[in-house]
Structure 1
Amino acid sequence: MTRTILLVDDHPIVRAGCQRLLAEAALGRVVEAEDVGSALDRWRAERPDVVILDLNIPGEGGGMAVLRAIQAESPAVPVLIFSMHEDPAIAARTLKAGARGYVTKNDAPDSLASAIGTVLAGRIHLDNGLARELALMTLTPTADPLAGLTQREREILGLVGRGLTTAAIADRLGISQKTVANACTQIKDKLGADSARALIRIAIDSGLAD
Protein backbone atom coordinates (compact mmCIF):
# COMPACT_ATOMS: atom_id res chain seq x y z
CA MET A 1 0.00 0.00 0.00
CA THR A 2 1.43 3.38 -1.02
CA ARG A 3 1.95 5.83 1.83
CA THR A 4 0.83 9.44 1.56
CA ILE A 5 3.10 12.20 2.88
CA LEU A 6 1.77 15.72 3.48
CA LEU A 7 4.49 18.34 2.98
CA VAL A 8 3.65 21.76 4.46
CA ASP A 9 6.00 24.64 3.60
CA ASP A 10 5.39 28.08 2.14
CA HIS A 11 8.53 28.14 -0.03
CA PRO A 12 8.08 26.50 -3.47
CA ILE A 13 11.83 25.87 -3.83
CA VAL A 14 11.93 24.02 -0.51
CA ARG A 15 8.91 21.93 -1.50
CA ALA A 16 10.46 21.10 -4.87
CA GLY A 17 13.70 20.01 -3.21
CA CYS A 18 11.85 17.85 -0.73
CA GLN A 19 9.80 16.31 -3.51
CA ARG A 20 13.01 15.23 -5.27
CA LEU A 21 14.52 13.80 -2.10
CA LEU A 22 11.40 11.86 -1.19
CA ALA A 23 10.95 10.58 -4.75
CA GLU A 24 14.51 9.25 -4.71
CA ALA A 25 13.85 7.56 -1.38
CA ALA A 26 10.59 6.06 -2.74
CA LEU A 27 8.79 6.74 0.51
CA GLY A 28 5.36 7.33 -1.02
CA ARG A 29 3.09 9.86 -2.67
CA VAL A 30 3.71 13.46 -1.63
CA VAL A 31 0.94 16.08 -1.46
CA GLU A 32 1.64 19.72 -0.66
CA ALA A 33 0.24 22.66 1.29
CA GLU A 34 1.65 26.13 1.87
CA ASP A 35 -0.29 27.69 4.75
CA VAL A 36 -2.42 26.81 7.75
CA GLY A 37 -5.71 26.70 5.85
CA SER A 38 -4.50 24.57 2.96
CA ALA A 39 -2.59 22.29 5.34
CA LEU A 40 -5.72 21.49 7.34
CA ASP A 41 -7.80 21.08 4.18
CA ARG A 42 -5.25 18.68 2.69
CA TRP A 43 -4.91 16.84 5.97
CA ARG A 44 -8.63 16.18 6.21
CA ALA A 45 -8.99 15.29 2.53
CA GLU A 46 -5.95 13.02 2.24
CA ARG A 47 -5.52 11.60 5.75
CA PRO A 48 -1.77 11.18 5.16
CA ASP A 49 0.41 8.63 6.91
CA VAL A 50 2.96 11.24 7.97
CA VAL A 51 3.14 15.05 7.96
CA ILE A 52 6.28 17.13 7.31
CA LEU A 53 5.56 20.53 8.80
CA ASP A 54 7.35 23.88 8.72
CA LEU A 55 6.60 26.05 11.75
CA ASN A 56 6.80 29.41 10.03
CA ILE A 57 3.89 29.19 7.58
CA PRO A 58 1.25 31.86 6.90
CA GLY A 59 -2.02 31.68 8.76
CA GLU A 60 -3.29 32.10 12.30
CA GLY A 61 -1.05 30.23 14.73
CA GLY A 62 1.39 29.05 12.05
CA GLY A 63 2.67 25.49 12.06
CA MET A 64 1.92 25.02 15.75
CA ALA A 65 -1.79 25.49 15.01
CA VAL A 66 -1.60 22.72 12.40
CA LEU A 67 0.28 20.44 14.79
CA ARG A 68 -2.30 20.95 17.54
CA ALA A 69 -5.22 20.37 15.18
CA ILE A 70 -3.72 17.11 13.92
CA GLN A 71 -3.00 16.01 17.48
CA ALA A 72 -6.60 16.71 18.45
CA GLU A 73 -8.05 14.78 15.50
CA SER A 74 -5.54 11.97 14.94
CA PRO A 75 -2.78 11.82 17.56
CA ALA A 76 -1.42 8.53 16.21
CA VAL A 77 -0.30 10.11 12.93
CA PRO A 78 3.34 11.24 13.19
CA VAL A 79 4.19 14.88 12.54
CA LEU A 80 7.81 15.67 11.69
CA ILE A 81 8.83 19.31 12.16
CA PHE A 82 11.02 20.64 9.33
CA SER A 83 12.30 24.03 10.40
CA MET A 84 15.01 26.64 9.90
CA HIS A 85 15.22 27.07 13.70
CA GLU A 86 18.00 25.14 15.45
CA ASP A 87 17.22 26.22 18.99
CA PRO A 88 16.54 23.21 21.24
CA ALA A 89 13.89 25.22 23.12
CA ILE A 90 11.76 25.34 19.98
CA ALA A 91 12.30 21.63 19.37
CA ALA A 92 11.29 20.90 22.97
CA ARG A 93 8.11 22.95 22.57
CA THR A 94 7.06 21.05 19.43
CA LEU A 95 7.78 17.66 20.99
CA LYS A 96 5.73 18.64 24.02
CA ALA A 97 2.89 19.56 21.66
CA GLY A 98 3.00 16.11 20.08
CA ALA A 99 5.53 16.19 17.23
CA ARG A 100 7.45 12.93 16.74
CA GLY A 101 10.62 14.45 15.37
CA TYR A 102 12.53 17.59 14.48
CA VAL A 103 14.74 18.17 11.44
CA THR A 104 16.40 21.49 10.62
CA LYS A 105 16.84 22.78 7.09
CA ASN A 106 20.59 22.86 7.68
CA ASP A 107 20.76 19.11 8.28
CA ALA A 108 22.20 16.76 5.65
CA PRO A 109 19.77 16.18 2.75
CA ASP A 110 19.30 12.48 3.49
CA SER A 111 18.33 13.22 7.11
CA LEU A 112 14.76 14.06 6.10
CA ALA A 113 14.11 10.68 4.51
CA SER A 114 15.78 8.95 7.46
CA ALA A 115 13.63 10.92 9.91
CA ILE A 116 10.44 9.95 8.08
CA GLY A 117 11.38 6.29 8.35
CA THR A 118 12.06 6.72 12.06
CA VAL A 119 8.74 8.37 12.93
CA LEU A 120 6.78 5.96 10.75
CA ALA A 121 8.37 3.16 12.77
CA GLY A 122 6.94 4.73 15.92
CA ARG A 123 10.15 6.26 17.25
CA ILE A 124 11.21 9.84 17.98
CA HIS A 125 13.71 11.45 15.62
CA LEU A 126 16.31 13.96 16.85
CA ASP A 127 19.85 14.28 15.57
CA ASN A 128 22.55 13.58 18.14
CA GLY A 129 23.53 17.21 18.64
CA LEU A 130 19.99 18.42 19.22
CA ALA A 131 19.19 15.48 21.49
CA ARG A 132 22.27 16.28 23.58
CA GLU A 133 21.30 19.96 23.84
CA LEU A 134 17.79 19.03 24.91
CA ALA A 135 19.15 16.71 27.56
CA LEU A 136 21.50 19.37 28.91
CA MET A 137 19.14 22.31 28.62
CA THR A 138 18.20 23.71 32.00
CA LEU A 139 15.53 26.33 32.52
CA THR A 140 15.95 28.72 35.41
CA PRO A 141 12.66 30.38 36.40
CA THR A 142 12.64 33.93 37.73
CA ALA A 143 10.02 35.77 39.78
CA ASP A 144 8.83 38.16 37.07
CA PRO A 145 11.39 38.46 34.27
CA LEU A 146 9.05 40.43 32.02
CA ALA A 147 8.05 43.13 34.48
CA GLY A 148 9.85 45.85 32.52
CA LEU A 149 8.26 45.09 29.15
CA THR A 150 5.38 46.99 27.59
CA GLN A 151 2.34 45.09 26.34
CA ARG A 152 3.52 45.49 22.73
CA GLU A 153 6.97 44.18 23.65
CA ARG A 154 5.37 41.16 25.34
CA GLU A 155 3.34 40.54 22.20
CA ILE A 156 6.42 40.70 19.97
CA LEU A 157 8.38 38.49 22.36
CA GLY A 158 5.60 35.90 22.23
CA LEU A 159 5.71 35.83 18.43
CA VAL A 160 9.50 35.51 18.50
CA GLY A 161 9.03 32.55 20.82
CA ARG A 162 6.70 30.93 18.30
CA GLY A 163 9.49 31.05 15.74
CA LEU A 164 8.11 33.82 13.54
CA THR A 165 10.55 35.89 11.50
CA THR A 166 10.80 39.68 11.72
CA ALA A 167 8.85 39.96 8.46
CA ALA A 168 6.12 37.61 9.70
CA ILE A 169 5.78 39.49 12.99
CA ALA A 170 5.55 42.81 11.15
CA ASP A 171 2.85 41.42 8.88
CA ARG A 172 0.92 39.90 11.80
CA LEU A 173 0.95 43.14 13.82
CA GLY A 174 0.62 45.58 10.93
CA ILE A 175 3.86 47.39 11.71
CA SER A 176 7.16 47.83 9.89
CA GLN A 177 10.02 45.35 10.05
CA LYS A 178 12.22 48.16 11.38
CA THR A 179 9.81 48.68 14.27
CA VAL A 180 9.94 44.97 15.08
CA ALA A 181 13.74 44.93 14.89
CA ASN A 182 14.01 47.96 17.16
CA ALA A 183 11.58 46.42 19.63
CA CYS A 184 13.60 43.20 19.72
CA THR A 185 16.74 45.22 20.47
CA GLN A 186 14.95 46.98 23.34
CA ILE A 187 13.62 43.68 24.67
CA LYS A 188 17.13 42.20 24.63
CA ASP A 189 18.45 45.20 26.53
CA LYS A 190 15.68 45.02 29.14
CA LEU A 191 16.02 41.26 29.67
CA GLY A 192 19.79 41.05 29.38
CA ALA A 193 19.50 38.67 26.43
CA ASP A 194 22.41 38.45 24.01
CA SER A 195 20.70 36.80 21.04
CA ALA A 196 17.41 35.94 19.37
CA ARG A 197 17.91 32.41 20.65
CA ALA A 198 17.93 33.73 24.22
CA LEU A 199 14.69 35.64 23.54
CA ILE A 200 13.04 32.46 22.28
CA ARG A 201 13.93 30.63 25.46
CA ILE A 202 12.65 33.46 27.65
CA ALA A 203 9.37 33.57 25.71
CA ILE A 204 8.88 29.82 26.07
CA ASP A 205 9.86 29.79 29.75
CA SER A 206 7.43 32.63 30.46
CA GLY A 207 4.53 31.00 28.64
CA LEU A 208 4.24 33.79 26.04
CA ALA A 209 4.85 31.39 23.14
CA ASP A 210 1.94 29.09 23.98
Structure 2
Amino acid sequence: MPSVLIIDDHPVVAEGWERIARASGACDVYSAASPLAGLRAYRAHRPDMIVLDLSFGDNKMAGVRLLRRLRLHDARTPVLVFSMHRSPIIARRALEAGCNGFVNKDSPPEEINAAFSTLSSGGFYVSPAIATRIAMLSRPSSPGAEIRLTEREMEILGMLAAGRSYREIASAICVSYKTVANVSHSLREKLKASSIAELVVKAIDYFDTA
Protein backbone atom coordinates (compact mmCIF):
# COMPACT_ATOMS: atom_id res chain seq x y z
CA MET A 1 0.00 0.00 0.00
CA PRO A 2 2.45 2.74 -1.19
CA SER A 3 0.04 5.71 -1.09
CA VAL A 4 -3.27 6.70 0.53
CA LEU A 5 -5.47 9.75 0.01
CA ILE A 6 -7.70 10.85 2.92
CA ILE A 7 -10.61 13.12 1.98
CA ASP A 8 -12.18 14.42 5.19
CA ASP A 9 -12.79 17.91 6.54
CA HIS A 10 -12.05 16.96 10.16
CA PRO A 11 -8.29 17.34 10.89
CA VAL A 12 -8.40 14.92 13.84
CA VAL A 13 -10.00 12.24 11.68
CA ALA A 14 -7.45 12.80 8.91
CA GLU A 15 -4.60 12.52 11.41
CA GLY A 16 -6.03 9.29 12.77
CA TRP A 17 -6.24 7.76 9.31
CA GLU A 18 -2.69 8.87 8.57
CA ARG A 19 -1.48 6.93 11.61
CA ILE A 20 -3.43 3.85 10.50
CA ALA A 21 -2.12 4.14 6.94
CA ARG A 22 1.51 4.53 7.97
CA ALA A 23 1.23 1.68 10.46
CA SER A 24 -0.05 -0.44 7.56
CA GLY A 25 2.98 0.39 5.42
CA ALA A 26 1.88 3.42 3.39
CA CYS A 27 4.87 5.42 2.17
CA ASP A 28 2.90 8.49 1.14
CA VAL A 29 -0.26 9.84 2.77
CA TYR A 30 -2.10 12.79 1.26
CA SER A 31 -4.99 14.74 2.78
CA ALA A 32 -7.76 16.89 1.33
CA ALA A 33 -10.46 18.77 3.25
CA SER A 34 -13.08 19.13 0.51
CA PRO A 35 -14.40 17.15 -2.47
CA LEU A 36 -12.79 19.56 -4.95
CA ALA A 37 -9.44 19.41 -3.17
CA GLY A 38 -9.83 15.64 -3.02
CA LEU A 39 -10.39 15.41 -6.77
CA ARG A 40 -7.35 17.57 -7.42
CA ALA A 41 -5.23 15.49 -5.03
CA TYR A 42 -6.41 12.30 -6.72
CA ARG A 43 -5.44 13.61 -10.14
CA ALA A 44 -2.07 14.83 -8.87
CA HIS A 45 -1.04 11.73 -6.91
CA ARG A 46 -3.09 8.78 -8.24
CA PRO A 47 -3.17 7.08 -4.80
CA ASP A 48 -3.42 3.33 -4.30
CA MET A 49 -6.33 3.74 -1.87
CA ILE A 50 -8.82 6.45 -0.88
CA VAL A 51 -10.52 7.03 2.49
CA LEU A 52 -13.57 9.22 1.93
CA ASP A 53 -16.06 11.01 4.17
CA LEU A 54 -19.58 11.60 2.82
CA SER A 55 -20.52 14.88 4.52
CA PHE A 56 -18.74 18.17 3.95
CA GLY A 57 -20.25 21.14 5.75
CA ASP A 58 -23.97 21.30 5.05
CA ASN A 59 -23.68 19.00 2.05
CA LYS A 60 -24.46 15.57 3.47
CA MET A 61 -23.99 13.68 0.21
CA ALA A 62 -21.03 15.49 -1.35
CA GLY A 63 -18.86 12.43 -0.87
CA VAL A 64 -21.24 10.23 -2.86
CA ARG A 65 -21.17 12.67 -5.75
CA LEU A 66 -17.38 12.78 -5.63
CA LEU A 67 -17.28 8.99 -5.58
CA ARG A 68 -19.47 8.76 -8.67
CA ARG A 69 -17.24 11.28 -10.42
CA LEU A 70 -14.13 9.33 -9.53
CA ARG A 71 -15.68 6.10 -10.77
CA LEU A 72 -16.30 7.62 -14.20
CA HIS A 73 -12.54 7.58 -14.72
CA ASP A 74 -11.27 4.98 -12.26
CA ALA A 75 -13.13 1.78 -11.43
CA ARG A 76 -10.25 0.06 -9.67
CA THR A 77 -8.78 2.20 -6.88
CA PRO A 78 -10.22 0.95 -3.54
CA VAL A 79 -12.40 3.54 -1.80
CA LEU A 80 -13.29 3.16 1.88
CA VAL A 81 -16.17 5.37 3.01
CA PHE A 82 -15.75 6.46 6.63
CA SER A 83 -18.95 8.20 7.65
CA MET A 84 -20.97 9.42 10.62
CA HIS A 85 -24.11 8.28 8.79
CA ARG A 86 -25.74 5.12 10.13
CA SER A 87 -28.59 5.13 7.63
CA PRO A 88 -28.62 1.92 5.56
CA ILE A 89 -30.08 3.90 2.66
CA ILE A 90 -27.06 6.20 2.58
CA ALA A 91 -24.70 3.25 2.99
CA ARG A 92 -26.39 1.46 0.10
CA ARG A 93 -26.11 4.55 -2.08
CA ALA A 94 -22.39 4.75 -1.33
CA LEU A 95 -21.98 1.09 -2.28
CA GLU A 96 -24.00 1.55 -5.44
CA ALA A 97 -21.87 4.60 -6.30
CA GLY A 98 -18.81 2.36 -6.25
CA CYS A 99 -17.14 2.32 -2.86
CA ASN A 100 -15.40 -0.88 -1.78
CA GLY A 101 -16.17 -0.53 1.90
CA PHE A 102 -18.28 1.37 4.41
CA VAL A 103 -17.48 1.85 8.09
CA ASN A 104 -18.99 4.17 10.67
CA LYS A 105 -16.98 6.79 12.53
CA ASP A 106 -18.19 5.45 15.88
CA SER A 107 -17.02 1.91 15.09
CA PRO A 108 -14.52 0.34 17.51
CA PRO A 109 -10.82 0.71 16.56
CA GLU A 110 -10.45 -2.97 15.69
CA GLU A 111 -13.27 -2.71 13.14
CA ILE A 112 -11.79 0.43 11.58
CA ASN A 113 -8.40 -1.27 11.30
CA ALA A 114 -10.03 -4.39 9.85
CA ALA A 115 -11.82 -2.33 7.21
CA PHE A 116 -8.60 -0.59 6.16
CA SER A 117 -6.63 -3.83 6.11
CA THR A 118 -9.30 -5.66 4.12
CA LEU A 119 -9.48 -3.01 1.39
CA SER A 120 -5.71 -2.60 1.21
CA SER A 121 -5.44 -6.33 0.46
CA GLY A 122 -8.07 -6.19 -2.29
CA GLY A 123 -11.18 -7.12 -0.30
CA PHE A 124 -14.50 -5.45 0.49
CA TYR A 125 -15.83 -4.48 3.90
CA VAL A 126 -19.16 -3.30 5.29
CA SER A 127 -19.69 -2.72 9.02
CA PRO A 128 -21.74 -5.70 10.27
CA ALA A 129 -24.39 -3.48 11.85
CA ILE A 130 -24.84 -1.53 8.60
CA ALA A 131 -24.85 -4.70 6.51
CA THR A 132 -27.69 -6.07 8.64
CA ARG A 133 -29.72 -2.88 8.27
CA ILE A 134 -29.15 -2.83 4.50
CA ALA A 135 -30.47 -6.37 4.36
CA MET A 136 -33.62 -5.27 6.18
CA LEU A 137 -34.51 -2.59 3.64
CA SER A 138 -37.53 -3.18 1.48
CA ARG A 139 -36.35 -4.78 -1.74
CA PRO A 140 -39.15 -5.25 -4.32
CA SER A 141 -36.79 -6.82 -6.85
CA SER A 142 -34.70 -9.04 -4.56
CA PRO A 143 -32.90 -11.68 -6.65
CA GLY A 144 -32.91 -14.47 -4.09
CA ALA A 145 -36.27 -16.03 -4.99
CA GLU A 146 -35.84 -16.08 -8.74
CA ILE A 147 -32.19 -16.87 -9.47
CA ARG A 148 -30.58 -20.25 -8.88
CA LEU A 149 -26.91 -20.37 -7.97
CA THR A 150 -24.59 -23.36 -7.92
CA GLU A 151 -23.00 -24.44 -4.65
CA ARG A 152 -19.67 -23.01 -5.81
CA GLU A 153 -21.29 -19.70 -6.71
CA MET A 154 -23.04 -19.53 -3.35
CA GLU A 155 -19.78 -20.32 -1.57
CA ILE A 156 -17.86 -17.58 -3.35
CA LEU A 157 -20.75 -15.12 -3.08
CA GLY A 158 -20.88 -15.66 0.66
CA MET A 159 -17.15 -15.02 1.00
CA LEU A 160 -17.36 -11.89 -1.14
CA ALA A 161 -20.16 -10.63 1.10
CA ALA A 162 -17.89 -11.26 4.09
CA GLY A 163 -15.23 -8.98 2.60
CA ARG A 164 -12.76 -11.58 1.37
CA SER A 165 -10.47 -10.78 -1.58
CA TYR A 166 -10.19 -13.01 -4.65
CA ARG A 167 -6.82 -14.29 -3.49
CA GLU A 168 -8.10 -15.09 0.01
CA ILE A 169 -11.09 -16.95 -1.42
CA ALA A 170 -8.93 -18.94 -3.82
CA SER A 171 -6.65 -20.00 -0.97
CA ALA A 172 -9.54 -20.85 1.35
CA ILE A 173 -11.38 -23.14 -1.09
CA CYS A 174 -8.30 -24.44 -2.96
CA VAL A 175 -9.05 -23.13 -6.43
CA SER A 176 -7.14 -20.78 -8.73
CA TYR A 177 -7.44 -17.01 -8.65
CA LYS A 178 -8.75 -17.21 -12.22
CA THR A 179 -11.55 -19.55 -11.13
CA VAL A 180 -12.69 -17.10 -8.46
CA ALA A 181 -12.55 -14.22 -10.93
CA ASN A 182 -14.57 -16.19 -13.51
CA VAL A 183 -17.21 -17.21 -10.95
CA SER A 184 -17.44 -13.61 -9.73
CA HIS A 185 -17.98 -12.46 -13.31
CA SER A 186 -20.75 -15.04 -13.70
CA LEU A 187 -22.33 -13.86 -10.45
CA ARG A 188 -22.32 -10.24 -11.61
CA GLU A 189 -24.15 -11.30 -14.78
CA LYS A 190 -26.70 -13.45 -12.94
CA LEU A 191 -27.40 -10.87 -10.25
CA LYS A 192 -27.16 -7.92 -12.67
CA ALA A 193 -24.42 -6.22 -10.67
CA SER A 194 -22.18 -3.78 -12.50
CA SER A 195 -19.34 -4.03 -9.96
CA ILE A 196 -18.07 -6.19 -7.12
CA ALA A 197 -19.22 -3.53 -4.63
CA GLU A 198 -22.76 -3.78 -6.02
CA LEU A 199 -22.47 -7.56 -5.95
CA VAL A 200 -21.73 -7.37 -2.21
CA VAL A 201 -25.03 -5.56 -1.68
CA LYS A 202 -26.88 -8.13 -3.79
CA ALA A 203 -25.15 -10.93 -1.89
CA ILE A 204 -26.64 -9.60 1.34
CA ASP A 205 -30.01 -9.57 -0.40
CA TYR A 206 -29.56 -13.12 -1.69
CA PHE A 207 -28.66 -14.74 1.60
CA ASP A 208 -31.42 -12.82 3.38
CA THR A 209 -34.16 -14.06 1.03
CA ALA A 210 -32.93 -17.35 -0.43
Q: Does TM, scored on the shorter chain, surpass 0.5? A: yes
Q: For residues 8 and 59 of structure 1, do their structure 2 counterparts lie closer, same or farther at Cα, with a shift above 3 Å needed?
A: farther
**CA–CA distance in structure 1, aligned partners of residues 40 and 32 of structure 2:** 9
**CA–CA distance in structure 2, aligned partners of residues 27 and 108 of structure 1:** 22
Where does residue 49 of structure 1 map in the other structure? 48
Q: Secondary structure at the match of 2:125?
A: coil
Q: Is the 8 A contact 1:50 1:116 kept in 2?
A: no
Q: Is the 8 A contact 1:81 1:101 kept in 2?
A: yes
**CA–CA distance in structure 1, aligned partners of residues 129 and 85 of structure 2:** 14
The Cα of 1:132 is off from its aligned counterpart by 1.7
The Cα of 1:135 is off from its aligned counterpart by 1.6
**CA–CA distance in structure 2, aligned partners of residues 21 and 118 of structure 1:** 13
Query: What amino acid is the match of 1:33?
Result: A
Q: Secondary structure at the match of 1:81?
A: strand
Where does residue 73 of structure 1 map in the other structure? 73
Q: For residues 138 and 11 of structure 1, do their structure 2 counterparts lie closer, same or farther at Cα, with a shift above 3 Å needed?
A: same
The Cα of 1:59 is off from its aligned counterpart by 9.3
**CA–CA distance in structure 1, aligned partners of residues 94 and 136 of structure 2:** 17
The Cα of 1:28 is off from its aligned counterpart by 4.1
Matches within 5 A, 1:148-167: none
| Sequence identity percentage | 32
Where does residue 137 of structure 2 map in the other structure? 137
Where does residue 120 of structure 1 map in the other structure? 120
The Cα of 1:88 is off from its aligned counterpart by 1.1
Structure 1: any 5+ residue segments left out of the alignment?
141-210
Q: Does 1:21 align with 2:29?
A: no
Matches within 5 A, 1:166-181: none
Q: Is the 8 A contact 1:36 1:58 kept in 2?
A: no
Query: What amino acid is the match of 1:103?
Result: V
Q: For residues 68 and 59 of structure 1, do their structure 2 counterparts lie closer, same or farther at Cα, with a shift above 3 Å needed?
A: farther
Q: Is the 8 A contact 1:55 1:83 kept in 2?
A: yes
Q: TM-score, normalised by structure 1?
A: 0.60
Q: Secondary structure at the match of 1:80?
A: strand
Q: Is the 8 A contact 1:6 1:52 kept in 2?
A: yes
Q: Secondary structure at the match of 2:39?
A: helix
Q: Is the 8 A contact 2:52 2:82 kept in 1?
A: yes
**CA–CA distance in structure 2, aligned partners of residues 105 and 127 of structure 1:** 10
Q: Secondary structure at the match of 1:102?
A: strand
Q: For residues 76 and 59 of structure 1, do their structure 2 counterparts lie closer, same or farther at Cα, with a shift above 3 Å needed?
A: farther
Q: TM-score, normalised by structure 2?
A: 0.60
Q: Secondary structure at the match of 1:51?
A: strand
Map Cα deviations across residues 101-155 of structure 1 (whole Å, 9 max, x no partner): 1011001123233212222333220122221221222157xxxxxxxxxxxxxxx
Where does residue 7 of structure 2 map in the other structure? 8
**CA–CA distance in structure 1, aligned partners of residues 22 and 45 of structure 2:** 18
Q: Secondary structure at the match of 1:10?
A: coil
Q: Is the 8 A contact 1:102 1:125 kept in 2?
A: yes
Q: For residues 22 and 101 of structure 1, do their structure 2 counterparts lie closer, same or farther at Cα, with a shift above 3 Å needed?
A: same
The Cα of 1:22 is off from its aligned counterpart by 2.6
